[in-house]
Amino acid sequence: MRKVFLWLLIVTAAMSMIFAFTLSGCKNESTAGTTAAETTVTETTAAETTAAETTAAGEATAKTVLRLWCMNSPAFLAAYEGLAAAYETAHPDVDIQVESFEYGVFIQTLQTAMPAGQEADIMALFGSWIPLYAERLATVPAEVMSLDEAKNTFYKAPLGGYLGDGVFYGFPQEFNNEYGGVLVNKTLFEAANLTYPPKWETMADVISDGKALAKKDASGTMTTAGFYFIGGDMSIPFLAGIKQFGGDYWNSDHTGFTFNTPEAKSSVQWMLDAVKAGVIDPVGFSQNDLFPVFFSGKVGIGYVGTWSIGVGKESYPDFKDEWDYFMLPNINGDTPSFVADSGWGLTVSPNSKNQDIAWDFAKFATTVPENVIEYNRITGTIPALISAKDLPEFAEQLPWAEKELGILPYGEYMGQMPDRDLIMYEIIFPHIVKMLQGVETVDAAMEAIDTEANSTFK
Amino acid sequence: MLKSGLEINKRRFVLTVSVPLIAYLSISIFVIGWAFVLMFFDYSPGRLGGPFLGLGGSNPFIGFDNFIEMVKGASIEARMFRLSLKNTLIFAFTILPLNLAITLPLAWLLDSIKGRFKVIFRTIYFLPVLISSVGVALIWNNLYNPQSGWLNEIIKFFGGKPVGWFTDSTLTFLGIPVSLWAIMIAYLWQDYGYNMVIFIAALQGVPEELKEAAMVEGANRWQTFTKIVIPLIRPTVLFVCVMTMLSSFQVFDIVQVMTVDKPGIGTQAQVLVLDIYKNAFRYNRMGWAAAESFVLFLIILIVTIIQVRTLRTKWEY
């Protein structure tokens, strides 16, 4: 019996080793493929596609099949399917199969598929993810688009996410801007006898309106927040404020953060003023999601990106109050400097045997203004393509983007943080909330943000 | 002839069972071994790394650095690990006594009821167990909503001030953040029915004559329960303790759903498995997550051994 047990153990261990070596072999093969693909990309043509990548035998014309991975939000899925269909119409010999994943599953699929070399030919990735996967992505070949050309084609904030060491890894589709605008409840404005549409010159004007809109019940509990700005994305106005006060949160060579500065402290002053004026209760109204409270009539002014216009209309069709979206005045100075964390865009796998077609599709989807506007219309996003605004139908098709046109050129990429989510949601946000709740002083909050954010550098 | 037929059947059985067993064990051992190896590397699946399984190169070998950082480090991930570990220990060591304090007396009460009411009550108490953790988390999230949650409405009705269950960073009870209490209450509500049913089954197995004998000897109901019943159901108590502790240490889904839209403040209630998940799948730090998993494994192993040694019995009735 003991011998059988020993034998079983030996065989199992051996099988595990074989399993490991097999995986390693697969990985080596895919790595080799990467190198080869990177060096021969310009030589590969659709005609050289392997039989395995063509449709079932028997069809008169074999199609080259490419897979595209994206997030499975219905709007994004519809937009990518629309782009794939448009490309297939123009290229009947190509079949682009869109495969979508729930957000979390998408990340896990990338984490497992990429090391195995099994990822899709084209991947719709978020700009901030690019540094994490850069080693496993193909760079844009110079003949497809040069870096200088890209800088003239796309806004710098969304493009910034796809850049690294003088090369770029894909084409941005979206200018993901969370800075500068608010949802405004017209019904509450009129009930409070405030000017509508609002004519704000400074943040003090916004706070003044917020004060008039805020309501409390007999117990002193806030029932309506005049100006709701405490949410996970409040890092964005904080970073914008630093820029507008003439500072920077990066050190000179981008190897560390500088959050404990006078500019950073000035950047949170309007938030403290707002809480002091009673426009928001930082305990009762510090949930992350603005929508449930705004679309139940409990918020007069709510800080959020323009994407909220489309989502709000779609998700809360029965909300009776009238509402609209307005841009805020600058936090400081005359220039609306701000930062953004790139946005969704298209990248290509170095393991794809059809990289030329993949890049051609990516360029088709992201640089042809009509395609860009269609994508951004369906997804409710802002185009990363500068020339999209020149199309006559721009304002009609993308009214939310039209509101922001004035500030978009001032947007900069927030920079390749070691971990953007960690810094924004686990470091900056909680310390600012604690500061607004009176648990931490401004100095202590800035010092803590500075120390913790710098600890994310290895 | 018959003997050789049996031998053939035995061999067939061994062959049939061995192949899937070896395949299963090989893959299991590989996965466990892979996690064990990863904890000594600064490994991210997004990086190419070296030629063998992506280890080395841009995924460098770092020895015990992950563990040293966990203990001494000032980095955000080290502090989050220590907070998560503290919360997990609080969670497990609070849930277990609370669960036992509710389920054991409740089971005893239900066991003493006769007729169809026993079935009705048992069904009612067991219902939360049938709800998925995500559903439970959503229900309780609504109850805790600072603006429209029932709990705050009840508090306001009685003249109290609403509580920021997940939004007030200053609020603690017995030194534990209220957000963690809020999750523990939801978890207890979902979980207690399961243990209650197990205890009812155990109580039904206690011979009536033993209880009657105790009563004849002058013991009251409480004394009978504590001196006769509980010692007799000790193996069941051990089982319940081990299983509740295991599930408490591994709690994830309910915490994830209840804190997912509350960055920062919700993090006060972060537990170790959620921290492992975030590091592995959100921040791409597989090596760190593997090291955290190993620490969790060790803790569960030690606690389980202590429980088994403390509560085991050498007799049966």
Looking at residue A285, its pLDDT comes to 82
Question: Residue A5 pLDDT > 80, yes or no?
Answer: no
Q: For residue range A401-417, what is the model confidence (pLDDT) as tens digits?
A: 888 898 999 999 999 88
The pLDDT of residue B114: 78
Region A213-233: what's the mean pLDDT? 88
Listed by number, the residues of chain A in 214-233 with a beta carbon closer than 8 Å to a beta carbon of chain B are 217, 219-221, 223, 232
User: Among A27-31, A426-430, B194-198, which is the least confidently predicted range?
Assistant: A27-31
Interface mutation vs chain A, best among B21, B30, B66, most A CBs within 10 Å: B30
Quick one: pLDDT band at residue A60, thresholds 50, 70, 90?
A: low
Q: Do A426 and B168 touch (CB under 8 A)?
A: no
What pLDDT score was predicted for residue A101? 93
Listed by number, the residues of chain A in 340-359 with a beta carbon closer than 8 Å to a beta carbon of chain B are: none
Put simply, the answer to whether A287 touches B282 (Cβ < 8 Å) is: no
Residue A249's pLDDT band (boundaries 50, 70, 90)?
A: very high
Among A139-148, A163-172, A194-203, B4-13, the least confident range: B4-13
pLDDT band, residue A34 (cuts 50/70/90): very low
Q: For testing the chain A interface, which of B43, B147, B275 should be mutated: the one with the most A CBs within 10 Å?
A: B147
CB pairs under 8 A between A and B: 145
Residue by residue, what is the 3-state secondary structure of chain A?
A: CHHHHHHHHHHHHHHHHHHHHHHHHHHHHHHHHHHHHHHHHHHCCHHHCCHHHECCCCCCCCCEEEEEEEECCHHHHHHHHHHHHHHHHHCCCEEEEEEEECHHHHHHHHHHHHHHCCCCCEEEEEHHHHHHHHHHCCCCCCCCCCHHHHHHHECHHHHHCCEECCEECEEECECCCCCCEEEEEHHHHHHCCCCCCCCCCCHHHHHHHHHHHCEECCCCCEEEEEEECCCHHHHHHHHHHHHHCCCCCECCCCCCECCCCHHHHHHCHHHHHHHHHCCCCCCCCCCCCCHHHHCCCCEEEEECCCHHHHHHHHHCCCCCCCEEEEECCCCCCCCCCEEECCCEEEEECCCCCCHHHHHHHHHHHHHCHHHHHHHHHHHCCCECEHHHHHCCCHHHHCHHHHHHCCCHHHEEECCCCCCHHHHHHHHHHHHHHHHHCCCCCHHHHHHHHHHHHHCCCC
Task: Describe chain B by its helix, strand, coil percentages, rounded to 5.
Answer: 70, 5, 25
317 residues of chain B, pLDDT tens digit each: 556 777 888 888 888 888 888 888 888 888 899 999 999 999 988 888 888 888 988 899 999 999 999 999 888 889 899 999 999 999 999 999 999 999 998 998 888 887 778 888 888 888 898 989 999 999 998 899 887 788 988 988 888 888 888 888 788 899 899 999 999 999 999 988 999 999 999 988 888 888 889 888 888 888 888 888 888 888 899 889 989 999 999 999 999 888 877 766 667 888 999 999 999 988 889 999 999 999 999 999 999 898 888 877 665 55
CA distance B147 to chain A (A): 7
Helix B178-204 with B116-130: angle, nearest 10 deg: 140
CA distance A8 to chain B (A): 7
Q: Do B47 and A24 touch (CB under 8 A)?
A: no
Closest chain B residue to A434, measured at CA: B169
Q: Which of A221, A233, A285, A431 has the most B C-beta neighbours within 10 Å, making it the best mutation to test the interface with B? A: A221
Select from A11, A426, A452 the Cβ nearest to the Cβ of B22: A11
> Tokens 């070998």 label which residue?
B61
What is the distance in angstroms between the Cα of A390 and the nearest Cα belonging to chain B? 38
Give yes or no for A141 touching B (CB within 8 A).
Answer: no
Average pLDDT rounded to a whole number, residues A117-128: 93
Model-level pTM? 0.80
B positions 204-263 inside 8 Å of A (CB)? 261-263
> Would you say residue A58 has pLDDT above 60?
no
pLDDT tens, A351-369?
999 999 999 999 999 999 9
Whose structure tokens read 């609002």?
A198
ipTM of the complex: 0.73
**Directed axis angle between helix B76-112 and helix A442-454, to 10°?**
100
Nearest CA among A60, A59, B125, B7 for reference residue B117:
B125
| pLDDT at residue A8, as a whole number | 62
Answer yes or no: do B162 and A439 touch at CB < 8 A: no
pLDDT reading at A134 higher than 80: yes
Averaged pLDDT score across all residues of chain A? 86
Q: Which residues from B are below 8 Å from A28, CB to CB?
A: 51
Phi–psi pair at A367, nearest 5 degrees? -120, -10
Residue A13 has what pLDDT?
Answer: 63
Give chain B positions within 8 Å (CB) of A419.
283
Residues of A in contact with B156 (CB under 8 A): 217, 219, 221
How sure is the predictor about A44, in pLDDT bands with cuts at 50, 70 and 90? very low
The DSSP letter of residue B217 is T
Torsion of CA B67, B70, B75, B76, to 10 degrees: 130
Is any Cβ of chain A less than 8 angstroms from the Cβ of B142? no
Name which of B309, B276, B235 is nearest B66 in CA terms.
Answer: B276
Q: Running DSSP on this structure, what letter comes out for residue B206?
A: S
Which of B26, B79, B261 has the CB atom closest to A15's CB atom? Answer: B26
Considering only residues B58 and A248, tell me which one the structure prediction assigns the higher pLDDT.
A248
Burial of A185 (0-12, 13-18, 19+ CB in 10 A): buried
Beta bridge partners of A168: A163
Mean pLDDT of A9-20: 63
Predicted pLDDT of residue A357: 96
* DSSP codes joined into one string, B157-199: HTTPPP--TTT-TT-EETTEEHHHHHHHHHHHHHHHHHHHHHH
- Alpha carbon distance B197, B208 (integer Å): 19
Q: Under DSSP, is residue B1 helix (H, G, I), strand (E, B) or coil?
A: coil
Q: Does A427 touch chain B (CB under 8 A)?
A: yes
Are the beta carbons of B30 and A427 separated by less than 8 Å? no
Mean per-residue pLDDT for A270-288?
A: 87
Which range, of A24-33, A76-85, A325-334, averages the lowest pLDDT? A24-33
Q: Cβ B263–A288 below 8 Å, yes or no? A: yes
The residue of chain A nearest to residue B168, with distances taken between CA atoms, is: A283
Cβ contact, residue pair B51, A24, below 8 Å = yes
**B172 shares contact with chain A (CB less than 8 Å):** no
Instruction: Inform me whether the pLDDT recorded for A59 exceeds 60.
Output: no
Q: Give residue A106's Cα distance to chain centre.
A: 14
Q: Residue window 274-293, chain A: list those with CB within 8 Å of chain B.
A: 283-289, 293
Tokens found for residue B115 = 């007729």
A175 has a pLDDT exceeding 90: yes
Chain B residue numbers with beta carbons less than 8 Å from the beta carbon of A107 are: 281-282
Rounded distance, CA A197 to CA A186, Å? 8
Please give the Cα distance from A139 to A350 (Å, whole number).
8
| Exposed e or buried b per residue across A137-148, where buried means at least 16 C-beta atoms within 10 angstroms of its C-beta | bbbbeeebbeee
The answer for A 318-337 residues in CB contact with B (under 8 A) is: none
Strand pairing partners for A326?
A182
pLDDT > 70 fraction of chain A, expressed in percent and rounded = 86
CB–CB contact A12 B22 (8 Å): yes
Specify the pLDDT at position A184.
Answer: 96
Alpha-carbon distances, residue A315 vs A309, A310, A312 (angstroms): 10, 9, 5
Classify residue B59 as left (phi > 0), alpha (psi -120 to 50) or beta.
beta
A197 preceded by a cis bond (ω within 30 of 0): yes
User: Which of A123, A128, A294, A455 to probe by mutation at the B interface, max B CB count within 10 Å?
Assistant: A455
Higher local confidence (pLDDT), B49 or A49? B49
State the CB neighbour count (10 A cutoff) for residue A310. Answer: 18
User: Residues 6 or more apart from A378 whose CB is under 8 A from it?
Assistant: A75, A76, A78, A79, A82
Write down the pLDDT at residue A205.
95
